[in-house]
Structure 1
């Protein structure tokens, strides 16, 4: 029997479209570093930043995703992510960032752009100090001009907290999810993997915790991995199932009931 070329063409198009739908928002990790396997929760984001030259590993081929990131290291990464020129920037005259410092150019550029104002105290930037989640929220929100207020409220971030508005902006733009106990933990330091995830989410909406992809809390706990059907270029899913999460730092186990409804093919981020 002779095959109908029109039907074959329709089948091919359908398969390609189905693959697009069910892999929407998923980046392909290429295992750039020996200690970041492809199934690591932040592998896609780390590979994304590595491919853009924003992050790099160590001489032994590792990335050390669990190592905490310093303010100086964050300044370098952010300057690269923003493609900021470091030429002819005024010297901020910081007492702990001399012209010979490896962080001088990046810190000077960010200071000139008024991005790190909240992190400078009495003429000190403290480049070797660990970057906290609250500080991360401030520099990312200011770097990308984020605004907005989220309905999500964190019990450890009152409205008078210094970075409250920045944290709200990240939540409103689906950059942060917080933790399952309704905390944000603004004074907790960030790992290299966590900072990579936040930066990737803000640079490319496909990494944000919305849409047809796995949803993670800020510490890499998988909340759910949902799929959706498609019809007339749209998808719609709703869930109200109990799930358990275990905090990686305390070992506490929480039971939660997640209700989620997602509709439309457009990225909600």
Structure 2
């Protein structure tokens, strides 16, 4: 297991060397990835590219681009792994590969990853082939070796195209899937296709996150309601503080409270609906994500009896911030306020309990406002009790 040979330090300021002799990288700044002209914020891999850039593991071209769709070759991958694991790399080592010599650009990285057991040579370990594109199945085996990943679940995972992979790589592809490092909607891995820079960044960060969460004893994260998140540990560390937890996109964490021996309960500012929030622990991305429910839509409003008004939504609203009495203004058709004693949420329904029963057949107007609805909505009501 590589962790016995080298240790990856999550916060180390590492600078990735040039990917090829003609590929000069900028010294990355904290905001470097955000400035890549060809990586928009909405790009699927932008989060991984930005975080790895901030750590100094990734950089871009001297013209400010990152070239996320460009394919990575074996030499480039070796250079990246050297920086990720802080491997000892001699300046001009003697080459053990026939296609490299002491003066070759990739010789130091090739010898370093070979010594660490991350990457071997081809043709009975005689050729390194630094300019050969790295395939996705080869990447799977490299990451499994590098991070010492073990099989999970006691069986093979549902990779739809696993038969397309070389026999020597199949088990490692399954291991990646078992750790959640590879996951696609159609369960296809495309093992023979070359790896792009964006793909390598995402796979690498997921593998780092898997190792980090294991080291920290993190086991899960879940939403309690839109202002509360639970983080699960194998056993909660002592002296938990709100500042140790953060999210991407940013959401303020005001309190961290230990609940039992396995859970830390976070109090956060109200989260946006239909949004995925990635957890960072002690400033390091964990790969764990929570997703809030879609924004609720009012489907029906009615006076269920003479003392109750129900507002039914299209989704379960029990854990949402929808019980603020100020968001529900109930008045007579003449404009006089009707007092509401309490507001309760259960399932897909919010119930307004009135201070006093209304007369049979009485009419009223209910005005809903934020945070219940994005824009003010008005509903006409008739109070009626069939039991009378």
Aligned counterparts of 2:64 and 2:82: Cα–Cα separation in 1: 23
Deviations 1:5-44 (A, max 9, x none): xxxxxxxxxxxxxxxxxxxxxxx99513111112211111
How far did 1:146 drift?
0.7
8 Å CA contact retained: 1:170, 1:176: yes
Aligned match of 1:185? 190
Secondary structure at the aligned position of 1:36 is classed as: coil
Secondary structure at the aligned position of 1:163 is classed as: helix
Secondary structure at the aligned position of 1:204 is classed as: helix
Secondary structure at the aligned position of 2:131 is classed as: coil
Aligned match of 1:138? 141
Query: Alpha carbons of 1:228 and 1:205: their partners in 2 closer, same or farther (altered >3 Å)?
Result: farther
Alignment equivalent of 1:63, drawn from 66, 69, 92: 66
Secondary structure at the aligned position of 2:34 is classed as: coil
Aligned match of 1:171? 177
Deviations 1:242-261 (A, max 9, x none): xxxxxxxxxxxxxxxxxxxx
How far did 1:147 drift?
0.7
- Per the normalisation by structure 2, the TM-score is 0.45
How far did 1:231 drift?
8.3
Query: Alpha carbons of 1:268 and 1:56: their partners in 2 closer, same or farther (altered >3 Å)?
Result: closer
How far did 1:268 drift?
8.6
Aligned counterparts of 1:232 and 1:61: Cα–Cα separation in 2: 40
Answering whether residue 201 of structure 2 is matched by residue 196 of structure 1, we say yes
Query: Alpha carbons of 1:57 and 1:49: their partners in 2 closer, same or farther (altered >3 Å)?
Result: same
Aligned counterparts of 2:205 and 2:159: Cα–Cα separation in 1: 23
Aligned counterparts of 1:97 and 1:137: Cα–Cα separation in 2: 25
8 Å CA contact retained: 1:54, 1:80: yes
How far did 1:229 drift?
2.8
Aligned residues: 199
Query: Alpha carbons of 1:206 and 1:62: their partners in 2 closer, same or farther (altered >3 Å)?
Result: farther
8 Å CA contact retained: 2:74, 2:131: yes
8 Å CA contact retained: 1:30, 1:38: no
Structure having the larger proportion of residues in helix: 1
Match runs of 1:22-33 below 5 Å:
31-33=34-36
Aligned counterparts of 1:268 and 1:191: Cα–Cα separation in 2: 20
Answering whether residue 88 of structure 2 is matched by residue 93 of structure 1, we say no
Aligned match of 1:223? none
Answering whether residue 85 of structure 2 is matched by residue 104 of structure 1, we say no
- Per the normalisation by structure 1, the TM-score is 0.63
The structure having more radius of gyration, on CA atoms, is 2
- RCO higher in structure (CA 8 A, sep ≥6): 1
Aligned match of 1:82? 85
Aligned counterparts of 2:47 and 2:32: Cα–Cα separation in 1: 5
- Give 5+ residue unaligned stretches, structure 2: 1-30, 214-218, 232-262, 265-278, 280-285, 289-388
8 Å CA contact retained: 2:34, 2:50: yes
Aligned match of 2:55? 52
How far did 1:234 drift?
2.9
How far did 1:149 drift?
3.4
Structure having the larger proportion of residues in strand: 2
Alignment equivalent of 1:161, drawn from 163, 167, 187: 167
RMSD: 3.4
Name which of structure 1's ranges 144-153 and 107-116 shifts more when overlaid on structure 2: 144-153
8 Å CA contact retained: 2:144, 2:176: yes
Name which of structure 1's ranges 86-95 and 107-116 shifts more when overlaid on structure 2: 86-95
How far did 1:91 drift?
4.1
